[in-house]
C-alpha cells in the first residue's frame, strides 16, 4: 500500500510538472515592480527584434515561404497575407495586449507618453499554429518585457520573461492565423497584468 501511495505521489508530481510546462510562464528575471504601485497608467511599446517563427530562425524566411505557397494557390493571395502578417501587429495584437493588461492590472496601458514608466514588450518567438478542422495546433508567443523610465529608457526598472502565452479561441473558431496570434497577445497582456498587480 505504501509503495502504491509513493507511486501515486510521483505520478501526481509528474502530471503537475507537465501541466505547468503547458501553461504560460511569467518570471521576474531582475529588478523590482513595486515602483508601479500607485501608477494609474503606463506607456507601452512593442518591438520585434530577431523574431523566430515556428521552425524558422528568421521571420523573413517564414514570410517568404508562406507568401510563395499562397501565391501558387491564388495569384496575389500570398502578397495580401504577407501585408496582413505585419499589419496585424498594430491593428490587432498590440491593442488586445493593452486591453487585457489594463483590465488585469488596473493600470491603463497603451500610448501614454506622459506616463512615468514604459513597458517595452519584445516578441522573441511566434508559433502560429494551425486549425484545419480535424487537426489543430495552438498558437503561442514568447517575449521579454522591460519596465523602463519613459524619460530615460536606458534606465531599466525590471525585466520579465513571458513563455508560451497561448492562443486559442473558444469552440475552436480560430481558423485565421491572425486570430490565434491575437489571442496569444491577449493572454500575454493579461498574464503580465496579473503578475504586476500581485507585486
Q: pLDDT, tens digit, for every residue of 20-51? A: 334 789 999 999 999 999 999 999 999 999 99
pLDDT of the residue at 179:
86
Residue 50 lies in a domain: yes
The mean pLDDT of 103-123, rounded to a whole number, is 97
- Only one residue has cell 493571395, namely 77
User: Angle 18-21-23 (CA atoms, 0-180°, nearest 5)?
Assistant: 110
- Report the share of the chain in percent with pLDDT over 90: 74
Q: Is the pLDDT of residue 80 over 90?
A: yes
Using DSSP, state whether 1 is helix, strand or coil.
Answer: coil
Q: Angle, nearest 10°, between helix axes 77-88 and 177-198? A: 10
pTM: 0.83
Residue 170 banded pLDDT, cuts 50, 70, 90: very low
Grid coordinates representing 119 are 513597458
Q: Is residue 53 part of a domain?
A: yes
Residue predicted with more confidence, 100 or 19: 100
**Average pLDDT for 120-130:** 91
Measured in degrees and rounded to the nearest 5, phi and psi for residue 59 equal -55, -35
How many domains, the chain? 1
Instruction: Compute the distance between CA of residue 180 and CA of residue 173 in angstroms, rounded to an integer.
Output: 9
| Domain CATH number, residue 57 | 3.40.50
Please enumerate in sequence order all residues whose Cβ is within 8 A of that of 81, keeping only pairs 6 or more positions apart, or say none. 66, 67, 70
When pLDDT is averaged across residues 50-78 and rounded to a whole number, the result is 95
- Rounded distance between C-alpha atoms, residue 119 and residue 130, angstroms: 30
Predicted confidence (pLDDT) at residue 9 exceeds the cutoff of 70: no
Phi then psi for residue 185, to 5 deg, are -70, -35
Asked if residue 10 is part of any domain, the answer here is no
Check if the beta carbon of residue 124 is closer than 8 Å to that of residue 145: no
Mean pLDDT (the chain, rounded) = 86
> At 138, is the pLDDT very low, low, confident or very high (cuts 50, 70, 90)?
confident
> At residue 172, does pLDDT exceed 80?
no
CA distance 44 to 53: 23
Residue 3 counted as domain residue? no
Considering the domain boundaries, does residue 6 fall inside one?
no
Domain, as residue range, for 101: 25-198
What are residue 64's phi and psi, to 5 degrees?
Answer: -65, -45
Total residue length of the chain: 199
pLDDT of residue 32: 93
pLDDT band at 4 (very low <50, low <70, confident <90, very high): very low
Q: Note the pLDDT of residue 169.
A: 53
- 181: in domain: yes
Q: 46: closest CA among 9, 104, 98, 106?
A: 98
The C-alpha atoms of residue 38 and residue 116 are separated, in whole angstroms, by 11
Give the model's confidence band at 171: pLDDT under 50 very low, under 70 low, under 90 confident, else very high.
Answer: very low
pLDDT band at 129 (very low <50, low <70, confident <90, very high): confident
Residue 57 pLDDT exceeds 70? yes
Amino acid at each position: 500500500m505504501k509503495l502504491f501511495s509513493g507511486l501515486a505521489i510521483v505520478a501526481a508530481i509528474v502530471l503537475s510538472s507537465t501541466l505547468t510546462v503547458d501553461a504560460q510562464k511569467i518570471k521576474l528575471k531582475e529588478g523590482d515592480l513595486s515602483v508601479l504601485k500607485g501608477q494609474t497608467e503606463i506607456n507601452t511599446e512593442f518591438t520585434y527584434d530577431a523574431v523566430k517563427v515556428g521552425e524558422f530562425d528568421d521571420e523573413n524566411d517564414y514570410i517568404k515561404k508562406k507568401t510563395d505557397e499562397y501565391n501558387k494557390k491564388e495569384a496575389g493571395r500570398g502578397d495580401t497575407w504577407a501585408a496582413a502578417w505585419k499589419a496585424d501587429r498594430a491593428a490587432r495584437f498590440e491593442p488586445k495586449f493593452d486591453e487585457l493588461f489594463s483590465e488585469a492590472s488596473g493600470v491603463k496601458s497603451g500610448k501614454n507618453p506622459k506616463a512615468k514608466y514604459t513597458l517595452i514588450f519584445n516578441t522573441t518567438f511566434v508559433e502560429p499554429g494551425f486549425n484545419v478542422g480535424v487537426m489543430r495546433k495552438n498558437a503561442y508567443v514568447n517575449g521579454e518585457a522591460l519596465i523602463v523610465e519613459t524619460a530615460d529608457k536606458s534606465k531599466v526598472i525590471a525585466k520579465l520573461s513571458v513563455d508560451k502565452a497561448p492562443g486559442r479561441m473558444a469552440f475552436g473558431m480560430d481558423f485565421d492565423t491572425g486570430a490565434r496570434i491575437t489571442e496569444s497577445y491577449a493572454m500575454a497582456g493579461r498574464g503580465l497584468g496579473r503578475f504586476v498587480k500581485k507585486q
